[in-house]
Amino acid sequence: SQQGEEDPQALSIQEGENATMNCSYKTSINNLQWYRQNSGRGLVHLILIRSNEREKHSGRLRVTLDTSKKSSSLLITASRAADTASYFCATDRGSTLGRLYFGRGTQLTVWP
Amino acid sequence: DTAVSQTPKYLVTQMGNDKSIKCEQNLGHDTMYWYKQDSKKFLKIMFSYNNKELIINETVPNRFSPKSPDKAHLNLHINSLELGDSAVYFCASSPSGGMSDTQYFGPGTRLTVL
C-alpha cells in the first residue's frame, strides 16, 4: 500500500505565486524526502527532512514536518513556469534499508 | 555524462513474451533499485541490490528477475509478460543504501504489453 498521500492531487497557479503541497503518512519514519518529476523524466531529489527536524529550507523550497500529525508540507515560493512538474513525498516507514515509499504526487502547473 | 541510464526508453511487446531492461550508473554507488510507476503515477519499489547482493524484494512476482553483474549494473528480466506489467520502470541508485541516502533516478523505460 502507498505510504504518502499528497494533496492536492493537482494545483494550478500563476508565476510568482507560492505553491503549497501537503503529504500525510501512516507509520513512524526516520526521514521524509521530496522529489520532483518532470513530464517523461525520472525523479529528482529536492530535500530530505529528518524526523527530529521541524523545518528545512533549500533555495525557494521550504519543507515542514509534523510527526505528531504524520504530515509534511512543501512550499515553493515565487514559483516559475519551470517549476511545473509532479511532486512526490517519500518516507522510509522506519526502515534503515533505504527503501522509499512514495505517494501519488501533486501535479503542479505554473502558468506564465 | 548520464548518471543513471536505462535502455530501452520504450518497449512494446506482446503478452507472453520475455523482455529485459538494462540499467547502468556511473556514480560509483553501491546500491541500485528498480521501481514501477503505474498509469496513475504511483511509484512502488520492486527490488534493491547492494554491491550485487539482493537486499529488498517487495513481493514481486517470480516472473521478474533482477540481475546485477557488477555494482554499476542492475538489469531487469521479465518472463511471460502480462497486460498488467504495462508501466514505466525506473532504475535508481544511491551511495550506500542507507536511510538518509538521496536516490538518483534514470529516465525510465515505458513498457507497453499488448
Q: Quick one: pLDDT at residue B74? A: 96
Give the tens place of pLDDT for each residue, A10-38. 999 999 999 999 999 999 999 999 999 99
Q: Is B80 left (phi over 0), alpha (psi -120 to 50) or beta?
A: left
More confident residue, A71 or A8: A71
CB atoms inside a 10 Å sphere around CB B108: 22
CB contact under 8 A, B99 and A88: no
Choose the mutation target among B2, B4, B35, B41 for the interface with A, i.e. most A CBs under 10 Å.
B41
Give the tens place of pLDDT for each residue, A35-65. 999 998 999 999 999 999 999 999 999 999 9
Strand-pair category, A85-91 with B53-57: unpaired
The answer to whether the beta carbons of residues B47 and B58 sit under 8 Å apart is yes
Please give the average per-residue pLDDT across A71-88, as a whole number: 96
Average pLDDT, chain A: 91
Please give the average per-residue pLDDT across B89-94, as a whole number: 96
Residue A71 pLDDT exceeds 90: yes
Q: Quick one: pLDDT at residue B88? A: 97
Choose the mutation target among B10, B43, B104 for the interface with A, i.e. most A CBs under 10 Å.
B43
CB contact under 8 A, A48 and B41: no
The answer to whether the beta carbons of residues B24 and B37 sit under 8 Å apart is no
CB contact under 8 A, B40 and A104: yes
Residue among B110, B56, B90 nearest A96 (CA): B56
Q: Exposed, middle or buried: residue B55 (CB in 10 Å: 0-12, 13-18, 19+)?
A: middle
What is the grid cell recorded at A63? Answer: 519543507
Residue A1 pLDDT exceeds 60: no
Please give the average per-residue pLDDT across B58-77, as a whole number: 92
**E strand spans, chain B:** 4-7, 10-13, 19-25, 31-37, 43-50, 53-57, 64-70, 73-78, 87-94, 104-105, 109-113
Residue B86 pLDDT exceeds 60: yes
Tell me if residue B71 falls in helix, strand or coil: coil
Give the tens place of pLDDT for each residue, B35-63. 999 998 889 999 999 888 888 788 789 99
Q: How confident is the model at residue B1 (pLDDT cuts 50, 70, 90)?
A: low
Residue among A98, A3, A93, A22 nearest B43 (CA): A3
Q: What sign results for the dihedral spanned by CA atoms B12, B16, B18, B20?
A: positive
Q: Quick one: pLDDT at residue A104? A: 86
Residue B75 pLDDT exceeds 90: yes
Residue B103 DSSP code: P
- Asked if the bond preceding B61 is cis, omega within 30° of 0, the reply is no
Q: Quick one: pLDDT at residue B56? A: 78
